Amino acid sequence: MTDAAAPPPPGTPPPGTVRPGGRTARVREAVLRASGDALAERGFEALDLADVARRADVGKTTVYRRWGTPAALAADLLADMAEQSLPRADTGGIDGDLLANARLVVKTLTDPRQGRLFRALIAASLCDTGTAGALHRFYEVRVAEWAGCVTDAVARGELPAGTDARAVVAAVSAPLYYAFLNLGTPLTDHHARRAAHAAATAARAGVWSGNTEGE
């Protein structure tokens, strides 16, 4: 069962839209770390603001005043994850870059904490529009970061001009998330290699450039 709280006053910026500093930043870091731990352990339905405050060693009033709801905590956690995410790889070739991307996705989803955390955050996004928006922004940030490997490949002549960089990057992770969430498949490096190879092959064929044979 989750906590209920009154919505923040009108004009209050959504959680994660203001970058705090000093003690405020330390409180946010502690609360978001505690929220991630709780989500990974028990899922979104059991996320409780009082429990998060206890885990973070922060006053309950602070947590209720700043975040107000479990959904707001989940949304701010996603915003922080986007801010802290790693930069893309640059191996010098599209095959190596896409494989690095696929391996990062597999590593994240198979991590004991991160895999459960992503399941919980995706579940939260299905029942709260704010969290859904934060999840969409998280993936937009990650796809935009990795899109550079596709635009670089186009510039090198590895891929057709006009290739949709975001579509290629999404095509790498999509089968991995589907296997993880829908099929319950234990992901391995084999899955990463297959996803990267399929995306690279389709991109070379012009699937995302409008230059496929016969068009």
Per-residue DSSP letter, 17? S
**In the block, residue with structure tokens 């731990």:** 37
Please answer whether residues 199 and 170 qualify as being in contact, where contact means their C-beta atoms are separated by less than 8 angstroms.
no
Between CA 21 and CA 215 the distance in angstroms is 54
Please answer whether residues 59 and 53 qualify as being in contact, where contact means their C-beta atoms are separated by less than 8 angstroms.
yes
- In Å, what is the CA distance from 210 to each residue of 162, 203, 204, 206? 8, 10, 11, 6
Please answer whether residues 109 and 176 qualify as being in contact, where contact means their C-beta atoms are separated by less than 8 angstroms.
yes
Q: Which amino acid is at 166?
A: R
Find all residues with CB under 8 Å of 163, minimum gap 6, and list them.
Answer: 150, 153, 154, 203, 206, 208, 209
Q: One digit per residue, pLDDT tens: the chain, 215 residues?
A: 444 444 454 445 555 444 555 778 999 999 999 999 999 999 999 999 999 999 999 999 999 999 999 999 999 999 999 888 889 999 999 999 999 999 999 999 999 999 999 999 999 999 889 899 999 999 999 999 999 999 999 999 999 999 999 999 999 999 999 999 999 999 999 999 999 999 999 999 999 997 544 34
The predicted structure's pLDDT at residue 164: 98
Which stretches within 43-164 are classed as H helix?
49-56, 60-66, 70-84, 94-110, 112-125, 129-156
Please answer whether residues 177 and 106 qualify as being in contact, where contact means their C-beta atoms are separated by less than 8 angstroms.
no
- Tens digits of residue pLDDT in 115-143: 999 999 999 999 889 899 999 999 999 99
Between CA 154 and CA 137 the distance in angstroms is 26
The predicted structure's pLDDT at residue 3: 44
Between CA 98 and CA 195 the distance in angstroms is 9
Q: Which amino acid is at 147?
A: A
| pTM of the full structure | 0.83
The predicted structure's pLDDT at residue 20: 52
Distance of alpha carbon 45 from its chain centroid, rounded? 19
Between CA 151 and CA 154 the distance in angstroms is 5
Between CA 200 and CA 89 the distance in angstroms is 15
